[in-house]
Amino acid sequence: MRWFAVTSGVVGWLFVATSQLQAADMARGLDVYWIDVEGGAATLIVTPVGETVLIDSGNPGLRDVNRIVQVVTRQAGQRRIDHLITTHYHRDHFGGAAGLASALPIGEVHDNGVFDGQRETADPEYYRFKVDKRSVIAPGDRIALRELPNGSPPLSLRCLGARQKFMATTDDKANACCQANQPRPVDNSDNANSVVMQLSYGQFDLLDTGDLTWNREFDLVCPVNRVGVVDVFQVSHHGLDVSNNPVLIRSIEPTVAVFNNSPTKGCTPGAFAALKETPSVEAIYQMHKNLRPDGATTNTPDELIANLTADCRGEPLRLSVAADGKTFTMFVTSSGHQRTYPSK
């Protein structure tokens, strides 16, 4: 009887502890960090159970690797990258991967692999660094994320496009926005091959198109909209005018837009205007203040900008989705800004 009582007590304690851990996981919600890699890209996703996904790894060299490691370990409190998604083979998107693999364990790399018609490849170091697994990602694929506690909202990270091909859809409703399209010259760079990812958590959605360019952005949402509406749009291609087709932006109706720019790269007049003219957009956030001469008309208010000077500490932007997925909060730590928005 004494053994039974002790055993029952241990089981009861384990049940309570497990319930508390599950409740803590749910309370965490979902976090997204835009890491400052000076006009490159490195977007960190941390799920409610602490699984990490890094979309792109910034530029070669120690600066970007150190910034990524600092956000992963100090701000997100994690010790590894479970999934690394490389959207395309330009150095400001894959360049930090090999160095990052020397600093943190990386579970699985997802990228475009080798494909017909490929014009650009990564540096040799990208294909040699230590990783548990390498996979070629395809439209329609979902990243195999760990299950969340019972009662959590559904979580999904899905590939909508890769190598200029896009996910099939059964939706036959024509997208009225497509009629306004103005095609551009064909883009033969690897930007057009960018992997497109959609993150969903309950009612919340975020779209990351890498450096997808104008004509392929049109294909993503036309003749039917494969994306739907989203809460947050990571502005294509750092906010360059060769991307950010207004047809895409009007189709996905973002509430918040995030420019992954540098002081002199991205956040260009055409892209900025396309967002400002979209009725759904309530706020535009920038990684850096645009310090070019056109900055007078292509900057959001200073409180929504993570880094205001060229000589900066590389402050990130952060987004936190509530545990129920019904709201999300944007944080600009450097300015103290914090604003909560309803998810769609």
Burial of residue 290 (CB within 10 Å: 0-12, 13-18, 19+) is buried
Q: Does a structural domain hold residue 134? A: yes
Provide the pLDDT for residue 285.
Answer: 98
pLDDT of 140 > 50? The answer is yes
Amino acid letter for position 292: R
Provide the pLDDT for residue 27.
Answer: 62
Strand partners, 340: 329
Q: Does a structural domain hold residue 21? A: no
Number of domain units in the chain: 1
Q: Please, which pLDDT band fits residue 170 given cuts at 50, 70 and 90? A: confident
Please give the residue range of the domain that contains residue 34.
Answer: 28-342
Residue % of the chain over a pLDDT of 90: 89
pLDDT of 224 > 50? The answer is yes
Q: What is the mean pLDDT of residues 205-220?
A: 98
CATH number, domain at 232? 3.60.15.10
Q: Please, which pLDDT band fits residue 9 given cuts at 50, 70 and 90? A: very low
Q: What is the pLDDT of residues 47-105, one digit of tens each?
A: 999 999 999 999 999 999 999 999 999 999 999 999 999 999 999 999 999 999 999 99
Q: Does a structural domain hold residue 192? A: yes
Provide the pLDDT for residue 156.
Answer: 98
Q: Does a structural domain hold residue 6? A: no
Q: What is the pLDDT of residues 294-324, one digit of tens each?
A: 988 999 999 999 999 998 889 999 999 999 9
Spatial separation of the C-alpha atoms in residues 259 and 172, rounded to whole Å: 32
By the 8 A CB rule, do 130 and 99 touch? no
Q: Does a structural domain hold residue 287? A: yes
Provide the pLDDT for residue 171.
Answer: 81
Q: Please, which pLDDT band fits residue 2 given cuts at 50, 70 and 90? A: very low
Tokens of 157: 């990270």
Q: Does a structural domain hold residue 61? A: yes
Provide the pLDDT for residue 316.
Answer: 97
Give the H/E segment covering residue 66: helix 62-70
Q: Does a structural domain hold residue 4? A: no
Q: Does a structural domain hold residue 165? A: yes
Q: Which residue has the higher pLDDT, 24 or 336?
A: 336
